[in-house]
């Protein structure tokens, strides 16, 4: 059951970043520096989601789990910093990414601290 929740959070991060990319496309003029920077955040989110989905399928890969964990911590820090710049820091969009990122960080840490299987 926990693997299903973990995998779902990975897909939710990917969906959230795809929606971020689409919203950025609607909000900013095409190929402006602001749009390119917004899309770079979307690419980072997609890669982080993919890393976490890979981690779910490799439950004893502690190195991958640590990479996923620190990626999630960075994602949380950037999301919280961005939310602080908004008129309403409790807007649904950053809250969504904080909840998903925190969940993935917790699952990543759980995997990173798990011992290797007996041989």
CA separation, residue 110 to residues 7, 107, 113, 117 (Å): 14, 5, 5, 14
User: Rg (Cα) of the chain, in Å, rounded?
Assistant: 15
Helical H segments across the chain, by residue range: 2-27, 33-57, 62-85, 92-113
Q: Between vectors from CA 95 to CA 90 and to CA 99, what angle results, nearest 5°?
A: 145
The answer to whether 22 and 46 are in contact (CB under 8 A) is no
Per-residue exposure over 11-37, b if at least 16 CB sit within 10 Å of its own CB, e if not: ebbbebbeebbeebeeebeeeeeebee
**What average pLDDT does the segment 12-19 reach?**
98
Q: What is the mean pLDDT of the chain?
A: 94
The pTM score is 0.91
Examine the pLDDT at 118 and tell me if it is beyond 80: no
pLDDT value of residue 115: 66
Can you list the alpha helix ranges (DSSP code H) found in 28-61? 33-57
Residue range 82-87: average pLDDT?
Answer: 94
What pLDDT is stored for residue 37 in this prediction? 95
Instruction: For the chain, give every domain's residue range.
Output: 2-113
Q: What is the mean pLDDT of residues 25-47?
A: 95
pLDDT band at 71 (very low <50, low <70, confident <90, very high): very high
């Amino acid at each position: 059951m926990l693997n299903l929740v973990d995998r779902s959070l990975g897909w939710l991060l990917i969906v959230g970043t795809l929606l971020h990319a689409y919203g950025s496309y609607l909000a900013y003029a095409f190929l402006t520096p602001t749009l390119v920077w917004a899309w770079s955040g979307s690419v980072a989110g997609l890669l982080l989601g993919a890393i976490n989905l890979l981690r779910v399928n490799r439950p004893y890969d502690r190195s991958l789990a640590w990479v996923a964990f620190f990626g999630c911590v960075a994602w949380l820090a950037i999301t919280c910093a961005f939310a602080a710049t908004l008129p309403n820091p409790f807007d649904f969009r950053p809250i969504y990414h904080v909840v998903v990122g925190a969940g993935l960080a917790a699952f990543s840490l759980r995997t990173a601290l798990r011992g290797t299987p007996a041989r």
